[in-house]
Amino acid sequence: MLQRRADFLAANSGRRAPMPGFVLLVRPRGDDDPVMRLGITVTKKIGNAVVRNRMKRRFRALARELLPEAGVVGADHVLIGRAGGIERDFAELRTELRKALGKVARHAPSVQSVP
């Protein structure tokens, strides 16, 4: 799990995959560690604490489900919540995250994704 501000700032320089409910940032770390790390951020602009926490729980559930099979090995993944994300159906978010991970993996030739 990403927690330090420096890690989030570094991920901001990686590949982007904007979707209606969120923005996915993926940045290979460049070390030999194959672990995929996840960071989630939802700003106050999105809503109050209840709304933000609900969105973060949904993102964590999606990441648990999809990152092991479609994530980029040895990379930091950051999900940034967007205003429309909380109204979106969970199945829609799943489809969008799968599409975003595919887009990022396709455009990062030096990084291999999980088989």
Domains and CATH numbers, the chain: 5-106 (3.30.230.10)
**Low-confidence spans in the chain with pLDDT less than 50:** 109, 111-115
The tens digit of pLDDT for each residue in 23-47 reads 999 999 888 888 999 999 999 999 9
Phi, psi of 70 (to 5 degrees): -125, 0
pLDDT for 94 equals: 97
Enter the pTM of the model. Answer: 0.89
